[in-house]
Amino acid sequence: MDAPRNDRDAWWMPFTANRAAKRDPRLIASAEGMHYRTPDGRTLLDGISGLWCCNAGHNREPIVAAIQAQAAQLDYAPPFQFGHEGAFALAARIAALAPGDLDHVFFCNSGSEAVDTALKIALAYRHATGEGGRTRFVGRERGYHGVGFGGISVGGLAGNRKVFGHGLSGVDHLPHTYDRKRQAFSKGEPDWGGHLADELERIVALHDASTLCAVIVEPMAGSTGVLPPPKGYLQTLRNICDRHGILLIFDEVITGFGRLGFAFAAERYGVTPDMICFAKGVTAGAVPLGGVIVREGIHAALMTGPERAIELFHGYTYSGHPLACAAGLAALDLYRDEGLFARARTLEPVFADAVMSLRGEPNVLDIRTLGLAAGIDLAPRPDAPGARGYDAMVEAFHRHDLVVRVSGDTLTLCPALIVSEDQIGELVEKTRAVIRAVA
């Protein structure tokens, strides 16, 4: 067949301004460590770990070798009624990293699938325990939980929901935790805002606890622009959920696997949820993989009935895919052998100080840092919200050899855990030049 007239037209790019991107494409040809390379030979500093996922850096040889070896041995094994050793081994490794009695792992392929899986497990658990009336979910404003219908329903980003109908019924939202007047230029968890978790009590009073199934939150809201949890906020949510018998789900798709200096944010904050959603960093971005880690009591409640009966009618063709599991095992080895979670803790204050040096640059309204993540709010242009942020992304790529993430007029920086102090300095100075260029 002949090639299409414009071979860029066929791919409908996700979360992308397609027409603008295809007129002025930002193409990446290869990657290694902290850097991308373009088809014309430029080397770009990756300031966003791919998309919050390449936590061990790009094209790490042990991960590449593990994928190659697995592809040559076992390309695919059906996950329905069959298995392979890699999936069992990876599940055991992930469960060992999780806190408390989060001992069981259900594999899927992405963060979006992980969230919808967790919501379905929660409903199945309620049915199994004779509490089928507990069907309501509680999310949070400015929350991002992927793009499945469950995820956009509990999520709190209007742009992700407004053209897709009503989504799940019976969903409420907690207020977001950000107040610029009280929290501006915070390093780590802000002092103000912990009391906002008490809004869950209002929702309980409105609907009665007997109707509430689960609360889902990101420990750190990442996609909305890095909103750290206020001090005490997550523990208060846990306490209220315990008081009323509500399940608590942490969406750790971004915060898992070292972003905040620990395997999971649950460990950083000393709060054990009932389920943890993960993806992204589990394979260091090399192969799609996601999942849900579930507490023993929830799992046990579903392991009933005839032994040959399916306990949960849910799953995916590619759940626990052999190549993904091989990549996951190799990534976990890298995190362990190179001490990358502890490295992130050590670098956190260095990173925070460096990014905060951007305070006072043109149009910088606020900066927030937590772990190896930072959100930089730029003032929107009059009558053109998001334009300054978009221009900053384009400017960074084409003129400063830098890849950054934008959400509206917020720039996000989240380098891989292998980043050096010199590279942190380079990242911040390039970002400074970008901010000045779009002033």
Q: Give the CATH number for residue 381.
A: 3.90.1150.10
Whether residue 312 is found in the same domain as residue 198: yes
Of the residues 302, 337, 372, which one is the last residue of a structural domain?
A: 337
Single-letter code of the amino acid located at 164: F
Whether residue 108 is found in the same domain as residue 228: yes
Q: What is the pLDDT of residues 32-50, one digit of tens each?
A: 999 999 999 999 999 999 9
Whether residue 286 is found in the same domain as residue 420: no
Whether 1 is covered by a domain: the verdict is no
Residue 2 confidence (pLDDT): 57
Q: From 90, 33, 37, 31, select the one nearest 56 (Cα to Cα).
A: 33
Of the residues 337, 359, 385, which one is the last residue of a structural domain?
A: 337
Whether residue 356 is found in the same domain as residue 332: no
Domain that holds residue 149: 64-337
The DSSP-derived string for 78-116 is --SS---HHHHHHHHHHHHHSSTTEEEEEEESSHHHHHH
Q: From 114, 145, 403, select the one nearest 282 (Cα to Cα).
A: 114
Going 310 to 311 to 314 to 319, the CA torsion angle's sign is negative
Whether 297 is covered by a domain: the verdict is yes
Tell me which residues of the chain have a pLDDT lower than 50: none
Sequence-separated (6 or more) residues with CB below 8 Å from residue 40:
none
Whether residue 366 is found in the same domain as residue 385: yes
Name the strand (E) or helix (H) holding 431: helix 421-437
Angle among Cα 274, 279, 285 to the nearest 5 degrees reads: 160
Cβ pair 414, 405 in contact under 8 A: yes
Give the count of domains, the chain.
2
User: What's the per-residue H, E or C state across 374-423?
Assistant: EEEEECCECCECCHHHHHHHHHHHHHCCEECEEECCEEEECCCCCCCHHH
Distance CA 279, CA 299 (A): 20
Specify the CATH number for the domain of residue 119.
3.40.640.10
Name the strand (E) or helix (H) holding 355: helix 340-356
Whether residue 290 is found in the same domain as residue 408: no
User: What's the per-residue H, E or C state across 136-149?
Assistant: EEEEECCCCCCCCH
Half-sphere exposure at residue 142, Cβ-oriented, CA atoms within 13 angstroms:
18
Whether residue 345 is found in the same domain as residue 329: no
Q: What is the pLDDT of residues 244-266, one digit of tens each?
A: 999 999 999 999 999 999 999 99
Distance CA 343, CA 198 (A): 34
Whether residue 154 is found in the same domain as residue 189: yes
Sequence-separated (6 or more) residues with CB below 8 Å from residue 285:
49, 50, 51, 53, 54, 55, 58
Whether 365 is covered by a domain: the verdict is yes
Q: What b/e readout covers 219-228, taking b as 16+ CB neighbours within 10 angstroms?
A: bbbbbbbbbb
Whether residue 221 is found in the same domain as residue 329: yes
End-to-end CA, the chain: 48
- Phi, psi dihedrals of residue 83, rounded to the nearest 5°: -155, 180
Name the strand (E) or helix (H) holding 279: none
Residue 187 confidence (pLDDT): 97
Residue 7 confidence (pLDDT): 82
